[in-house]
Structure 1
Amino acid sequence: MASPVKVCVTGAAGQIGYSLVYMIGSGAVFGPNTPVSLHLLDIPPMMGALEGVCMEIADCALPCVRDVVPTADPAVAFNDIDAAFLVGAMPRKEGMERKDLLAANVKIFKVQGEALDKYAKKSVKVLVVGNPANTNALICSQYAPTIPKENFSAMTRLDQNRAQAQIAARLGVPVAEVKNCIIWGNHSSTQFPDVRHATVNGKPVYEAVNDDAWLMGDFISTVQKRGGAVIAARKLSSAMSAAKAACDHMSSWWNGTPDGQFVSMGVFSDGSYDTAPGVMFSFPVHIKDRKWSIVQGLPIDDFAKGKLEATGKELCEERDDAMSVCAAAQ
């Protein structure tokens, strides 16, 4: 038997974690013949619930699951891991300013970054799911200086999946026929869902849909506001779809992208497409041998440039706010 892939999930007793650990254990991420060791981290008050999650994993009798390690100690959770899904974060509460949310999350991701730096493999792939994901990923990497910055990413795959699903529904086609939807920028209401370079059955989406006003209006706002719409309907935030997107993101990172196709990931901006460097910006990426590279040379029209500028501005403001919190905590 191959050695198991050691995978950490934080916030593992929470709603997203509940769906996520099953999907990882089922072989959906690392392959149906790849054993996994699940390191499940949560805060001490959640240990009872986490025990119940572990009982259910056992009761699923998943062939890929080699062992399960529940813990409230980051040193145990991150020890020698190959991949991390950082789901646990401080949720935004009613009346909470974004700066307050950032301050609370800086504390969490500082501790986790330091623990990753000290205990995880230097090749670890770190996916930040907990919001504000882009800036949380930035903070986490800041406190893990011996792990390459390209090993950190933020999840915008849920937004990509939402965009893909909206186009498929509009055209009445299977979702798998829609390819190369892009999410630019922040995982927030300023994100830019872009289908200018997307295809459906090989045909440009703009030609297939033949409704530029919808594609540049309601389509974008629907994807941007989808999380809020789910909360309004379900009275809880997206969990199953977020877990699926996290698995999609890590699976692409681990196994690569098909030729001619790309996926969206929040990664360190190098200034491509005139974006601000030094923030976690969502770009279209190719992935090979577990290394991503930003897709270059896509034509960007004035409409798109305005959208990229707006979401980039928000990311710079978040970064500056978060770094001021870090500086004050020194």
Structure 2
Amino acid sequence: MSALIRVAGASVLAAITLSGTAAAPVVAASSSTSAPAGRLVLVQALPQQDLDIAIDGRVVERGTTTGAVLGPIPVAPGAHQVEFSHGTTRLVTTVDVAPGSSSDVVVHLPAQVDGSPVVNTYRTPMGPIPPGKARVLIAHTATVAPADVRVDGAVVFHDIANGEYATAEVAAGAHSVALLPAGQDSPPILGPLRVSLEAGTVTMVYAVGNPRTHSMNVIVHKTGLGSNGAVAPASIDTGTAGLAADLPVRPFSVTPTSSGATAATSPSLRPMATTMVAVLVGLAMVLTARRGSGRRPLRRR
């Protein structure tokens, strides 16, 4: 598993009131420049709430329920306002969108019981990934104290507070995830949950709710990633001349030593095989010398 990356989510906002919210058509912001558009994913993580969501004053959707994931919505690079509203109360945050980036904007409960909702922005880690691997981002967006995240029975993320997150790369497949009070082995606050991580994807996981109201849950969505160019070899080319066809091939064996340790050994090559290896090494040295003699020395300018 890769090294832990732990960062607090961006921008926490205060609730303000207004006399009313003007209706607007559902239109995603678009780019008027040649720079590639960014993407916003809007996550509604407030238990028992229906919210209207807008970008730059334009309504994306009305009456979104808990657990709704909207997008990805293409937007032009630059600053954009995202608004979550319910009746006369609204939360507004400004999100800086980089060209080609993807960010989740999440409205959720704070750490304090009965506290006002907050909004955090989490940049999706879109970097290339090796084959057979999956990336996961786990964010603490629930009304609980700092917590540890346990994956497949082992604590991998320690003491994550509300609004913070951690990322890692793991083997693709099914994994068990649980949220526990920091430094304790008591029953999990959430889980264990089975999360399926697909190769070549990043899965965004948000722990949401309040254990006192039995509203603890998890919101999950995933995005495809590009490969980092690494390819697992399917075969190893050993040549077609047949010069080593008569060489015996025996596996290495492990034998105990006098000190109790183990040592790897291999059968000795037969005399004929040793001579053949010496001839091949000599031939390679001659060919290298001939190739080098035809090269011109570099001239300094």
Does the TM-score normalized on the shorter chain lie above 0.5? no
Structure showing greater Rg: 2
Q: By percentage of residues, which structure has more helix? A: 1
Instruction: Name which structure has the greater RCO, CA cutoff 8 Å, separation 6+.
Output: 1
Q: By percentage of residues, which structure has more strand? A: 2
TM-score where L is the length of structure 2: 0.23
